[in-house]
Every structure is written in structure tokens, then in C-alpha cells.
A and B are shown apart, each in its own frame.
Chain A
Amino acid sequence: MLAIADTPAPDAVLPAIQPAMQTVRELVLLGAWSPWVQVLVGALALGILGLTVYNYRGLLPRWRRVLLVALRAAIVVMLLAMFYQPAILEENTARGRNLVPVLVDLSESMGLPHGESTRLELAREFVRDHDALWDELREGNDLVFHGFGQELSELPNLVSDGDALAGLNSDARQTRVMEALAQLRARYRNQDLGAVVLLTDAIDTTAASRRARLDPAGEGLIRELDAPIVTFALPDDGHLKDISVAEIVANGFAFVMNATTLDAIVRVHGYSEGELVARLLENGREVSRQAIPLVTGQTEYTVTFDFVPRKLGKQVYGVSVEHMPDEIYGQNNSRQAIVKVIRDKVRILQIVGQPSWDERFLRNHLKEDPNIDLISFFIMVSQDNYRPVSSGETSLIPFPAQELFEEELGGFDLAIFQNFNYGPFKTREYLPAIAQFVRDGGAFLMIGGPKSFSAGGYYGTPITDVLPVEIPPRFGDERREDEASFRARLTDAGTHHPITRLMLDPATNQNVWENLEELQGVNLVTRARADAVVLAEHPTLKDDQGRAMPVISVREVDKGRSMAVTTDSIWAWSFPAGNEGQDSRHFDTFWSNSIRWLIKDPEMDLVRVRAVRERVSVGDEARATVEVFRPDYQPAADQAVEVTVRRRDEGSGAGEGEIVLRVDDGKTDADGSLDLAIRLEKPGIYEVEASAAVVAGRRAVGTDLFVGTEVDPELETVIGDGRLVKLLAQASGGSVQSLDTAEPKVEPHPPRVTRVMSRRHDELWNAPWVLAALALLFGAEWWLRRRYGFL
């Protein structure tokens, strides 16, 4: 048996900790036997005792029997004691000193009145009046002081430095309790905390204060702190009065002309009778109002507004509650949120010249997308059909060309001509309308096939004016198609364009394109138009200028967009590719990308404006970033950009209002970005519009909105409910007490043992007296057994 004696060198103890020495003695068992051995030995001991009782069952008088059994039991007990090897462990230990940080809330809300004084003064009095608490905490702990608001700040010892205490200022414009605790943890990462003391009005300006429980990051932070968080918070002050719109709960988007809802959380303190009126404002114009009946004891009300967005694009919705003259703070009675109003569905018109596998897989893709409202027309019979069909026996319906192209076309976002020849359907007269539809902002996609492009008779029609490619005339049965198989080759523009981005990583995307399933057959075109962007090309065929024949090309046409896919075999990327073991989803990705680009998904705009924050306080600087791309979606470096920032008048829409900033000579940097800073002087809805001449013939435009508000974020809520500090106390084993309590209690964790200075085992079982006692017991038993006739 080994006795461990560890005596470290004195200088191994960290000098800064100034450890307290302590000696601890405890009984330990050195026999670390496995459970099976212990069970075996226990069974053996019980067996011996049982046999002893059995052997002496006839011994009389009875006291002799008891005496012999007792002697045997004593021997067994002594042997068991030797088996377990009991010892006294004596340790001399050094304990460190824990840190107890005291965090004082220095946010603006601490400057609000409390009775005759202010909240900050109440905190000062707490520090001054509780010397006993600080003395108690100093035993075994080191006290440090910090201020917090937006972030943690250093403070001198406020208990000993009265001037510093008197000079505290509450000027932080936000209160971020969790952020302060995280900075505290980082600041004292290598030291143990005994407790964390918060002196605050219990108002937190972050989302953490509105949650019913701590988020996983918050829970992790509490575990890392490993110390009770004791909050001394503002006592309940019933005479304070305030009404605030604490939060607007709305989806970030809504569908135009579809009823939607928006919830506002309204907090009411100090008013318990009558009713308040809440108004919903759309871009400053009232669209709905709700009465809030007040209930005694209730401070939080949820007001639900039902409304129908009528304008597309980003809209500012505000909720405003009437202001009472005796409120403590009057600027927090309204709040705004930006809602993006989008179409409920993308409406697509698909006209197909003949059923085919290419049509089947594209239609299936479009039908599977719940955001697409698809109207299809397939030409199911042709002049080649030798057997005339009776309309009564078939489900064929006439092709409603006039209805579609004269009346309904404007209701579609995208028109697809898939291997469709217009000739037999007397639709030539409608082709100008289709071209105009594109120029006015619609999208047009022509997909190849034996009835498409030149073979469809489109040469010289208005349709060719909006296509990305020029097509040759066709005379008689002259073929303008090539039937050979080929693998489409990505162009330089295609490597950056969102349509052909089948994978996010450019290198992986290039590799995917190089291994895509082969296509079969293309419609021959003369050339790509000068302002078109060719995304994929034929590897061998050339156009009339000797350049590779375009296979996939796109073009911006005035306000609209067009796309040409000169093959009817894109479906090869789906079914045949999947059966070959390739990823059949490339087909879906390609068409999804194409449709998003064609309908001008804002994520694919060439000029994108992004306001860094949706709400900016008056006096602060609003920031926005403008990103500009070339038509092939490479960043437009050193690109001239015009920027206009407008403050919209109440009720006005896009492009209206007072111009507060105009930049005529903006230039993008090497990444195609331009950063803007706008100093806000008035509240309102601000529109940032940027435009750049990256597309031939017109300027690409991007816009974004933000709200300028007079509400100080710190003062949006002036009466806290203490939810967050209660959660912190609950999770950390701390407590929430009042700042005006007479007997504050903080029970810090005891300091940890930092080092064992020495350790010694006094083994109880191998002392000489144990062997002597054992020999005596054996001898006595032997003598008595002999005397009673058992030997």
C-alpha cells in the first residue's frame, strides 16, 4: 500500500491569488477492488458466518455458542477491514480568491426619474449604503467594478472612490445585458467568478429581453460564467406612466392583394381604465385602427391588424398608439416595420408546339413549384395526322389565341414558346403584342425544337426583335437545325451568371458543366445580339461571325427580359442523367434559376441596394451599400453610379418625396460596391435609389428603404419587466432583489482549491495493533474451541 505525500514548492502557488491555506482530514478506503471481487468477498464472509452458526447450533449453554459466534464474527470483520484498507487522508490545500464583478447599468434609462431622484442615484445609494455587503464579499473574493450599456466599461472601485461613484454618467444609448456578460467572461477568462452583481433598472434593449427563455447561446454563456448572477433592480414604481409599442410582429413579406395580419405588442404602465386607440399606417397613411380596452393589472396587450397590401415592393408599416400628456416618455408610442410585398404566385404561360419529353419534364418542374401558377397549351394535333379526329371524341379544345394574346397576356409574368410555330394558329397578328409585352417588363423564353426559331417562321417577325439571338430566314424545307449530340460549353459570362450557376462554388460549377449529360440537336441562329449575354455555347458549330453558336443566351429588352434556349433536349439533364447516376437536380436548378432571372427576382438585380439597418435614430448615420454587376454578373468595378436618397412624404410612394442626398458621380470600388452614409436630421421613411448604366440602352435601378425614427432605442421601453434578469437568476442560481432592499444578500461560490500543498495517508489497517488483535482473537477462539470439545 502506498501513502502519497505531495509537497509542492512554495513558489508554485500563483502570487497574485494569495491563497488561503487549509488542512482537510478524511477517512478513505485504499482497497480499490472491483465490484465482482467485493461481492465475492462479501459472500465468503457471510458463508463463514453462516457455517459458524450452523456448526455451533448444538453448543450449550447458550452463552458459549454466542461467544464463539461473536469471536468468529469479530475475526471476519477485522479481515474485511484489512481487505478494504482504511486510511486517514490528510491534505494541506491552498484556495484561490474568486472575482466578484459588480456591473452598474449606465444606460440612458438610468437617468429617468425615480421618485425625487433618478434611477442612477438609487444605484449610487445602494453602493454607499451597504458596506457590510461589500465587506462580506471581499472575504475570499476580489471586487471589481464595471459599467455597462452598449458594452462593458472599466470603473474604479466605487466603494472606496466616492468621487468616481458621484461622477457616473448614464449616457449609453442601448442596454445589452447579455453582451456585457459575454464581454465580462472574455475579460476574466482565466479567473473564477464567485458571483456577478448587476445594478440596473432591468431594461434590456435587445431581443433577449422579449424571449420567454434564454437562447442556447445565453445558456452556454451562463454555464461558462459558472457563478450566480444577483441583480439589484429598480423597485416597482407604480406612479410611472408610459405607453409604448414594444414590438411589431410581422412576416418579412406579404402577398399583394392578399389579406395578411400584423401584430403589435403594446405595453401600458400606469393606465388601467378606458381604452386606447392603435392605428396601422402604411407609408404614413392610416389603413386600419383598433381599440385597446385597458384591464387593471395588465401591462402588455397584443393588437392584431388585418389588412390587404395593395402595392408591390417594400412598404413601411407603422403602429401608433395615442400619446397621453402625463407619460414619462412620449417618443415610444409608435414603431415601424418594413414588409416586402410580393406577388402571390408567378404566372407563367407555356405554349408548346407538340408534346415531347422536353415539354413533359419542364411542365413537371413548373407544376411542382407551389409558387408558380402555370397555364399550358399544347398543340396536340397537326396536319401530319392522317386520321381526322372528331372534337366530340377527343378532349381537344381550340387554341384561344385571341384571349391569350389580346386580353390575358398582361397578367402573365413569363411567356414560354416551347417548340411552337405560330403560323397555323393565326397568331402572327399578336406577335407585336408579345414583343411589346416584353418591352413593358414581361419575360419571354423561347425553347428550341423543330418548330422553333427559324423553323417556326419567326424570321422577320417582331418576336425576333426581343430575342437574344438573330435568326436566319428559312426557305421551303431548308433545315435550320443540327441534329448532332454535343455537350454545352459554359462561356465566361456563364461562369458568373445566376442562371448557369448550378453549384455555388465556381470551380465545382465548371466541373458540373463539363460533365453534364450531352444534349442533342440545336436550332441554328445567325448570331447573338450585341446586347445579349451568351451563357452556354456549342462546342463545334459557329455563327456567321465565326464565333461559337449560342445555345443559352439572355437579353435585357427595355423593361423586360428574354431568353433563348436553342435545343429541345435540356431534359437530358433530368431523366437520362439520373439514370446514368448523375445528379438529376441540375435540370431543376437550371430552370429555377432561369425563371427567377426572367421574372427579375430582386436577388438577381444588377444594381442592389441594401440598407444596413431598417431603423435608424435621428442624429445617427444611416449606412447603405450599393452593389453593381455587369450583365454577366461579374462585379462592375469602377462603375459610375447615381444615388438619390429621398425622404418620403406621408402617404407618398416610390420615387416621391424630398431629396436629402444626391450623388451624381459615385464610383464603385474593385468589388463593384459603393458604401453610403446618410446623416439623418428628420424622422420619416427614407428611400435609397441607385442606378447605373450597366445595360445598353437603359439604367439598371435598385432601391431599398429604411425608417428614420426619433425614438431613442434605449428609451423605447422605460419600464422594465425584469424578464431577462429573472431568467439569468434562474439559470445561474442567483436572485433578483430590489435596489432599495435593506438587507441585500449575495452568496458567492466558495473559491476553488487551487493547489494541494501536501497529502498524507495514515493507514489504519496495517498497524501492529491490528495484527496483535487478530492473533488474540484467533488464539481465544482456538482455546475456547479446544475447551468446549471442538478440537
Chain B
Amino acid sequence: MNRRRFLQASLAMGALAAAPSRALALGAAQDLRVARIRYDGNWNVHSGAGSTWADEVRMRTSVSTNPQEETVGLEDKRFGQRPFAILTGDRDFALREGEQTALRRWLELGGLLFIDNSGQSEPSESFDRAVRRELARLFPKEPLSRISPEHVLYRSFYRLDYPAGRAIRKPWVEGLAIGRRYGVILSHNDVLGALARDPSGRFVSTPTPGGESQREMAIRFAVNVVMYGLCLHYKDDQVHLDYLLHNRKWKIRRPE
């Protein structure tokens, strides 16, 4: 693409602001809605943070969202209609057999599960152990592995170098691969903690050590997670890579 065409295209992109309509899906089920999984344990940490998450996605992207966080049990019918869900906690838990079956099927059919370790000062070891145990039961041949900083998750919308949250305990997330995609993303940095608001709408915590700029990074990571769920490896397509490599001079590796 030469300079003239780039300018034309940029103008086209700039014309978005003049576009007349607001994006609404044809039905409520088509909107992106953050579903929080209810389980036997401390599932409701940072209650309502999913609403902030959906709201930030709506404000920053073209994705049509429903800002109301939804609570679902793994065996609820509604869970099977939401391809994106979060599971938070800070202590041990165990899934029942029926819940395991439903979650395995949900993941295999294309669901994306974001698991957030909400431990306060440190990541909760008991929650971490429980997550690994339950995932090992679901997919014994697929271990959790560290997601490379080159992975499309870090550029599905924003360009990020690491996954921020309320804290930055580990500068990486782990993922469980199902086929060519990650079906589970495990965060150790309490992302929901950075998004949680009190009833008056103020954020309940101050991210450490970076303060509000770290919160912005946490929100950006949350947006990237949703965009990864919706677009998968779209940003690995040749046309994007060529542009980012040559026009923006990004130093990223091509996917294998």
C-alpha cells in the first residue's frame, strides 16, 4: 500500500465517526455478555466486575455488548448459550461430575473461559491448585502452558507486552489449548480486581504498583481477551501481519 492509498484508507477509517448508526445485535443473545460461573466455593469475588468489562469493550470496540454481568451455573441452559465466561476465586473448590461434563463440552464446542486468581496479596495457592486439578480432570492430555508474548492474544486489539491486573505478580498468563486455539486462559494478576467498582461507580482498588496507568493496561488486556474470543487468530492473518511489520515496523514473529 502506497502513501496515497494509506491516506485514503485512513480517511475511510476516520469517517467512522460520521457513521449514523449504533451497533445493536438483532437479538439479546447475539450481544457479548460476560457470564460469571457459580460453583461450590467463593465464586463471587469482585462481584459486578464483569459489567465493567463488557462496558469497556462496548466503549472501545465495535462489539455489541450487554453490560449486565450474568451469573450462571455450569449446568444451566444459559451457560451453553454464552461462549465467553469468567471463573474467579481465591480458595479451593471442586466441580461436580455433571459440572465437569458440561464444562468439557462447552470448551470443546468453542467456549472461552477466563480464570482469574483473585488472591489479595499473593495469588491464592489453593485456588491455583484447584484450577489445575479440575482442568487436568477435564483434559488430562492437555497441560496448562505459558502463553507466549508473541501470541495473538497480546495484539488482538491493543498491542500489549504483558498481562496487567490489579497486581502484576506474574507477567504472563497460562492457557489450555483445544485444537489450535486456547479454550482456557488462566490469569494470576487479579484482572477482575482492577475492573471492580463499588455501587457508586468508583473503582474499589488501586492497582499496584502502577496505579491508574496499570488499570488502563488491565482493561486493555481484558479487551484483548474478549477480542481473542470473538476473532481468534484474525490478527495473525497475512494481511495484518504484513501491514504491522512493514508500515508500523512492529517486531513480531509470524505464527508457525
Q: Which residues of A contact B (CB under 8 A)?
A: 353-361, 363-364, 367, 374-387, 389, 391-403, 421, 423-427, 448-451, 455, 477, 481-485, 520-523, 567-569, 572, 574-576, 578-580, 584
Contact = CB atoms under 8 A, between A and B. Distances in A.
B159 A400 contact: no
Given A382-B23, A397-B244, A520-B30, A356 B18 contact: no
A382 B19 contact: yes
Given A367-B232, A382-B23, A450-B23, 14 more contacts: A354-B62, A355-B231, A374-B237, A380-B61, A383-B18, A384-B59, A395-B235, A448-B26, A449-B30, A450-B24, A520-B27, A521-B27, A580-B77, A584-B109
B136 interface: no
A574 B64 contact: no
Contacts of B158: 393-395
Contacts of B1: 400, 403
Contacts of B63: 354-356
Contacts of A375: 237, 239
Nearest to B230: A355
B146 interface: no
Interface string B1-40: 1000110111111011111111111111110100000000
Contacts of A393: 158-159
A399 B1 CA distance: 11
26 contacts: A353-B23, A356-B25, A356-B230, A360-B232, A363-B232, A374-B237, A376-B237, A377-B239, A379-B62, A380-B61, A380-B227, A383-B16, A384-B58, A395-B235, A396-B13, A397-B240, A399-B9, A399-B13, A400-B9, A484-B27, A520-B30, A521-B30, A568-B30, A569-B27, A575-B80, A579-B81
A391 B79 CA distance: 36
Nearest to B5: A402
Interface string B157-171: 111000000000000
A394 B157 contact: yes
B12 A579 contact: no
B83 interface: yes
B91 interface: no
B5 A400 contact: yes
Given A392-B248, A398-B9, A387 B59 contact: yes
A425 B12 contact: yes
Nearest to A384: B22
B12 A353 contact: no
B60 interface: yes
Given A380-B62, A381-B62, A401 B9 contact: yes
Contacts of A580: 77, 80
B64 A579 contact: no
Contact of B105 (A400, A484, A579): A579
A402 B8 CA distance: 9
Given A356-B25, A356-B63, A521-B26, A426 B19 contact: no
Grouping DSSP codes into helix (H, G, I), strand (E, B) and loop, the B interface class, with mixed when no group exceeds half, is helix
A526 B15 CA distance: 30
Given A360-B231, A398-B10, A424-B19, A384 B62 contact: yes
A20 to B, nearest CB: 70
A354 B26 CA distance: 13
Contact of A421 (B10, B21, B111): B21
List of 9 A-B pairs having minimum Cβ-Cβ separation, nearest first: A521-B26, A579-B80, A520-B27, A398-B9, A424-B19, A521-B27, A355-B230, A354-B62, A382-B62
Contacts of B111: 575
A578 B30 contact: no
A385 B61 contact: yes
A579 B79 contact: yes
B221 interface: no
Contacts of A361: 110
A574 B109 contact: yes
Contacts of B230: 355-357, 359-360
B152 to A, nearest CB: 9
Nearest to B111: A575
A315 B126 CA distance: 67
B156 interface: yes
B12 A399 contact: yes
A401 B10 CA distance: 11
A481 B64 CA distance: 16
B225 to A, nearest CB: 13
B1 to A, nearest CB: 6
A731 B160 CA distance: 71
Contacts of B6: 398
A455 to B, nearest CB: 7
Contact of B62 (A374, A385, A574): A385
A367 B231 CA distance: 11
A281 B78 CA distance: 63
B16 to A, nearest CB: 5
A476 to B, nearest CB: 9
B30 A358 contact: yes
A367 B152 CA distance: 16
Contacts of B227: 355, 380
B215 interface: no
Contact of B16 (A382, A395, A427, A451): A382
Nearest to A580: B80
B234 interface: yes
Contacts of B159: 393-395
A425 B15 contact: yes
B106 interface: yes
Given A382-B16, A401-B9, A521-B25, A357 B62 contact: no
B11 A426 contact: yes
B188 interface: no
B155 interface: yes
Contacts of A401: 9, 12
B50 interface: no
A354 B158 CA distance: 16
Contacts of A399: 9, 12-13
Given A358-B30, A400-B9, A455 B21 contact: yes
Nearest to A395: B155
Interface in B179-236: 227, 229-235
A450 B25 contact: yes
Given A353-B62, A382-B62, A387-B60, A523 B12 contact: no
A576 B81 contact: yes
A363 B30 contact: no
A403 B234 CA distance: 19
Nearest to A354: B62
A146 B38 CA distance: 82
A523 B26 CA distance: 8
B5 A360 contact: no
A403 B6 CA distance: 11
A426 B15 contact: yes
Contacts of B83: 357, 360, 575
B243 interface: yes
B26 A569 contact: yes
A351 to B, nearest CB: 12
Contacts of B62: 353-355, 379-382, 384-385
Contact of B110 (A377, A403, A520, A574): A574
Nearest to B4: A402
B59 A385 contact: yes
Interface in B134-158: 155-158
Nearest to B235: A395
Contact of B109 (A382, A400, A477, A575): A575
B72 to A, nearest CB: 11
A451 B231 contact: no
A579 B9 contact: no
Contacts of B234: 363, 376, 378
A384 B23 contact: yes
A421 B102 CA distance: 37
A610 to B, nearest CB: 39
